[in-house]
Amino acid sequence: MHTLLRFCSLLFTLIRFDLAKVVLEYNQVQGWRGFLLHSLSILSALFTSRRARLRPAGVRVRLACEYLGPIFVKFGQMLSTRRDMLVPELVQELVKLQDRVPPFPPSVAIERIEKALGGRIQDIFASFDSTPIASASIAQVHFAYLKHSTPQGDTQKPSGRPVAIKVLRPGMRAIVARDLALLRKAAWMMQKVWVDGRRLKPQEVIEEFSTYLQDELDLMREAANASALRRNFAHSPLLCVPEMIWAWCRPKVLVMEWMEGIPISQVERLQAAGVDIKKLAREGVEIFFTQVFRDGFFHADMHPGNIQVSTEPARFGRYIALDFGIMGSLSDFDKSYLAQNLLAFFKRDYHRVATLHIESGWAPASTRVESLEGTIRAVCEPYFDKPLKDISVGQVLLRLFQASRRFSIDIQPQLVLLQKTLLNVESLGRDLDPELDLWKTAQPYLERWIKTQVGLKGWIERFKYEVPQWSQMLPKIPRLVHDVLVTQGPASRELEIRVVRLEQKARAYRTGLRILQGLVLIGIVCIAIGIGKWPSLSL
C-alpha cells in the first residue's frame, strides 16, 4: 500500500511539473511511446498553470525532486555529477539542489543517541545542546561536551572536550528502501519509453545511487573514511580532519572532535578574520591534487557546505573537511590515465590522448586513432584561445567524456566522481580568487607523479616492493612442480632427486637475492648521499 501511494505521488508529480515534456524537448519520440508522453503532457496542461509549464525544463526537474522529498533531492544531486550523460541545462539546475530539511525533535535525537551508546545522555556528556546546529536529509548534528570518563579499557582519554554528534534520522532505512524500489520501477519504465533510455543505463545509475546511499546510512563507514583521510594529512599544514571519538561511534551515531571554523563561502568573514584569500584558493587546489595523485583517496563531496576554515590559533587558516560519507578512490592505472591525459592535452598532443583512450580499453580496440584524435581536437582546441588561467580543467575532462560518447566509451564511475569533485574544487577556488591559475598549481603534481612512476625513483620503489615477494616465491616453485608431476602418476627416483636439488638451489638463490637486495639498497643510499653533496649529479 505504501509503495502504491508513493507511486501515485510520483505520477502526480510527473503530471504537475510536466516532466513528460522534458523528455519530448530533448528527444524525438515516435510511436506508442510518443503518444503516451504527449498524453501525459496534455494532462499536465489541465492540472497546472501556464506559467508553471513555461518554466525551463531544468527548473521543473529540480522542483520535482524537491517536492518528492530528501531521497529524490539526493538522487538529483547524484545525477548532477553525471555530466557525461545529461544536457548542461539540466545539470546546472540539479547542482542547485540543497538539503533543506527541518530538524527532527530533540527528544527523538536524545532517545536515538542513548539507545545507540547504551547509556543516559547526562552520563556520557557533560552538556548537550538539544538545538541542532545542522540538519540534512540523512542526519542532523548536535553540539556537546564529553565528560572526563570513557568506557573501561578504551585507550582514548577525552577530557571535557567539545564534540559534534551526528545522528541518523529515524526510519531512514525503510524510507530509502521504499523510494529505491520506486526509482528502480521508474528506471525500468524510462528505459522502455525513452528512446535514449537504453544508452543512459538508468537502472545502472539507480544501483550506483543505492551504493552511495547505503554508504551514507552507515556512520561507522563515514568515521573510517574520516580516520583514513586524517591519517593521510596528519602532518599537513593545509588540511584539518576532525578526530573520530571511537569510544562513542556507532552505525547510527557518530561523535567527532569539534573544530572552530568559518564556512568557506563566507568570504567577508574570512577577510575580516585575517585569512589570506588568494593563498586559501591555491591551497584548496593543492589539497585536492595531493589527495588524488599522492593518496588515490579523495573527499568526493567538496561543496562549500562541507568545508570550513579554521579560526583556532594553532591551525589558523587551514581547511577543515566535514561529511565523509562519499569518498573516491583511484588505482595507479586510473591516476596514470588521468595524469597522462591532462599533460598530453596541455601539450596539444591529441594523438596521445586518443591513444590513451584505446590503450586503457575504454575505447573499443577497433576505434580508428585518427578519427578519435580529430574529435578530441575539435572539442578541445578552442580552449587554447584563452589564457591558461582561464581554462577549466574540470571542463576539459567533461568535454573529453562527451567526445568519447560517440565512440561507445564507458566512463568509469570513479572518474565521473573525480570530475564532479574537480569541478567543485575549481569553482570554489575561483570564487575565492578569480585570477586563480588552476593548471599552474596542478602541473607540478602531475609531472612529479609521472616521474615517480616511470623514472628512477619509481623503479626503486617497485624494486623494494617486489624483491621480497620474489624471494618468497622462489622456494615454492620446485615444490609446485613436484606436486604437479605427482598428480600425473608415480614419480621416478631420479625425478625426486632432481626436485630436491632444485629446492636446494632455490634456497641458495633466495639467499643470494636478499644479499643483492641489500647491496642495491646500500648503493642507492650512497648515490643519494652523493647527489646531496654534488647537486650537479641531481636528476
What amino acid positions are annotated as catalytic residues? Answer: 301
Task: Answer for the pair 308, 318: CB distance below 8 angstroms, yes or no.
Answer: no
Mind giving me the DSSP string for 415-480? HHHHHHHHHHHHHHHHHH-TT--HHHHHHHHHHHHHHHHHSHHHHHHHHHHHHHHHHHHTTHHHHH
Q: Which three cell numbers stand for residue 76?
A: 538529483
Q: Which three cell numbers stand for residue 177?
A: 528502501
Q: Which three cell numbers stand for residue 514?
A: 636478499
- Could you give the 3-state DSSP secondary structure of residue 319? strand
> Cell 543516559 sits at which residue?
120
For residue 240, what are the β-bridge partners? Answer: 320
- Could you give the 3-state DSSP secondary structure of residue 490? coil
Task: Answer for the pair 108, 132: CB distance below 8 angstroms, yes or no.
Answer: no
CA dihedral (332, 333, 338, 340) positive or negative: positive
CA dihedral (352, 354, 358, 362) positive or negative: positive
- Could you give the 3-state DSSP secondary structure of residue 390? helix
> Cell 511539473 sits at which residue?
17
Beta-strand ranges (E) seen in 5-138 are 125-128, 134-135
The contacts found for 2-11 with CB under 8 angstroms, 24 or more apart, are: 2/178, 3/178, 3/181, 3/182, 6/178, 6/179, 6/182, 7/182, 7/185, 9/68, 10/68, 10/182, 10/186
> Cell 602541473 sits at which residue?
443
> Cell 565512440 sits at which residue?
407
Read off the DSSP letter of residue 152: T
In order of 186, 188, 223, 251, the CA distances from 192 in angstroms are 10, 6, 40, 38
Read off the DSSP letter of residue 260: -
Count Cβ atoms within 10 A of the Cβ of residue 181 and give its class: 0-12 exposed, 13-18 middle, 19 or more buried: middle
In order of 38, 160, 179, 194, the CA distances from 185 in angstroms are 21, 50, 10, 14
Note the Cα 75 to chain centre separation in Å.
Answer: 16
> Cell 602532518 sits at which residue?
235
**What angle in degrees, to the nearest 10, is found between the helix axes of 438-454 and 456-473?**
40
